Chain A
Amino acid sequence: MTTLECNPPMDAQRMLADLDLDHFRPSRSTANARRRKDRLMRALFTAAFAVALIPLASVLWTTLTHGIGRLDLGFLTHNMTGVIGGNPTAAGGYGGVLHAIVGTLEITFGAMAISIPIGVMCAVHLIEYARDNALAKTIRLLVDVMSGIPSIVAGLFALSLFSMIFGPGTFNGLEGSVALALLMIPTVCKSSEEMLKVVPDALREASLALGVTKQRTITKVVLRTALPGIVSGSILAIARVIGETAPLLMTAGYVVTTNVNLFSGQMTTLPVYVYQEYSKLSANCPANAGDMCVPTIPMERAWSAALVLIVIVLILNLIGRIVARICAVHTER
């Protein structure tokens, strides 16, 4: 048995005698200097925030002001058939983006259908099975490398894959989906992995201890708990690829008519449409064409299509947020 070495009352007395009440009082000059520094840094951060916002606000504003002029129901419900130069079409109006909206939505949903299952399953494998073994390390490295591949390379990959299987010169929407999926998989996998990682082990143990199989623990507890995060990660991945132009130009091609078949025939997407209209620079208006011929119509169509694209991304984002809200994990006490 050890004896107590210190005597509390005596100790307390000594502490009182030594107590220097002014010890922690700041001097006037340090307090002022600290306040000045605080103000300076606050100003710096606010300025940095503003600088970051300027291009964003500028892009939105420019697209809105340039794009709103030609954005009407006719623009959304017509494709580019029968558009000659700057003349109005027989259907009225100056052509539209219906075929590009259809193409963008179908190709993007195709890319989602391919990449989200693969990405999420890859993350499940990494977190629930492989953990930190050599295979997991290799997969993580490859995912990191893959997230850095230029989109044009993904386009080339899909193009050569489909050329190998279906013969050279194959263009269709699914080919575009494959190219986009290749770009999405690393993002989906990475974000899902992070989300699965933060699911507490206590929940896995709680489920297993109830005599629930590992498979059901993963699908019904782990994935369910991580669902809101997986949804927002996937939406981010979509937002990243929905604006891709180059790989789609190579794989899905470009047509002026509406093609609703993802598996056959070329498809136009909004970014490709914007690019094509922009490269026309201006439309041809013969001298006798009259007032109805608008030489600047291609640029106007490009801006409007860009605005439509931004709105679609916004809507997808909103849907994602609503889904995440509905299956949110309650944490309030």
Chain B
Amino acid sequence: MGQQIDVNHLNVYYGGFLAVEDVNLHIAANQVTAFIGPSGCGKSTVLRSLDRMHEITPGAHVTGEVLLEGRDLYAKGVDPVAVRRDVGMVFQRPNPFPTMSIRQNVLAGVRLNNKKIAKSDADDLVEWALRGANLWNEVKDRLDHPGIGLSGGQQQRLCIARAVAVHPSVLLMDEPCSALDPISTLAVEDLINELKRDYTIVIVTHNMQQAARVADYTAFFNLKAVGQPGHLEYFADTSTMFNDPQNEEAERYISGRFG
């Protein structure tokens, strides 16, 4: 089941630079929440702070709270590695492990953590995850082929299967379709619609049609000027955001009359 996330007074820093300022946001369980906004406004940065991937960048840190079902992910004694097992992530460019087959890629989260798994359980997990990612029928006869040999869209769905196979409750997607052609994009969007039954999904996208198509809620991020911190400008359910936004900046952005 998906879990809800509450973001309270989140400031995100790169070294001394405040990249995103005072984000307050409720991400509902088993819903799709889209982050939109101009480049550099900090959508991806906020997304990456939801599974503590942000702090991989040297000097990067946050203040404030990110509550996953009420537990603060940034509390003392929270292991970022454990957080990332609960909150999965799919990246902009498909990044299957080039040394691994399709099967090994799906099992990567288990195998890389040195967990023992019986072969039959592994088979079940691979099939379940690949079915979940709508990829099973396309690859079931070549599970031992390299994952990198698939098409871009298939690779991205393989990455989704890989993320799903560690049983997260939340899936973060950082522009998952921006490197894909329209047909693969459609496949991934359909998949997102199915995945929200089991996961809470947060998706960053530059494509507003995509946000309108897949998201239940949409958060619009903005920045006052280049070099200034980004902030959450407006948050609404998607139909309000795209049909009747109660925010001038958001309205200008959505109608393409920005800047």
Which residues of chain A have a CB within 8 Å of any CB of chain B?
A: 1, 131, 200, 202-213, 216-217, 220-221, 224-225, 327, 329-333
Contact = CB atoms under 8 A, between A and B. Distances in A.
A210 B162 contact: yes
Interface residues of B, number: 33
Given A203-B98, A211-B83, 5 more contacts: A206-B162, A207-B112, A211-B81, A211-B82, A211-B113
B88 A209 contact: yes
A324 to B, nearest CB: 13
B146 interface: yes
B108 A210 contact: yes
Interface in B66-102: 81-86, 88-89, 91, 93, 95-99
Contact of A206 (B85, B86, B114, B159): B159
B25 to A, nearest CB: 21
A207 B113 CA distance: 10
Interface of B: 51, 53, 56, 58, 81-86, 88-89, 91, 93, 95-99, 108-109, 112-114, 146, 148-149, 151, 159, 162-163, 166, 257
B124 to A, nearest CB: 19
B9 to A, nearest CB: 25
Most buried by B among A1, A221, A225, A330: A330
Contacts of A333: 148-149, 151
A210 B91 contact: no
A224 B149 CA distance: 18
B84 A330 contact: no
A1 to B, nearest CB: 6
7 contacts: A206-B96, A209-B53, A209-B91, A210-B162, A330-B98, A330-B149, A332-B148
A205 B95 contact: yes
A37 to B, nearest CB: 42
B97 A216 contact: no
A332 B149 contact: yes
A206 B146 contact: no
Given A210-B162, A332-B149, A225 B112 contact: no
A220 to B, nearest CB: 5
B56 A205 contact: yes
B233 to A, nearest CB: 20
Given A330-B146, A330-B148, A332-B149, A207 B99 contact: no
B158 to A, nearest CB: 11
Nearest to B109: A210
Contacts of B85: 210-211
Contacts of B84: 208-211
B102 to A, nearest CB: 11
Contacts of B93: 202
A200 B95 contact: yes
A8 B53 CA distance: 47
Contact of B114 (A200, A216, A331): A216
A212 B113 contact: yes
Contact of B163 (A1, A203, A209, A329): A209
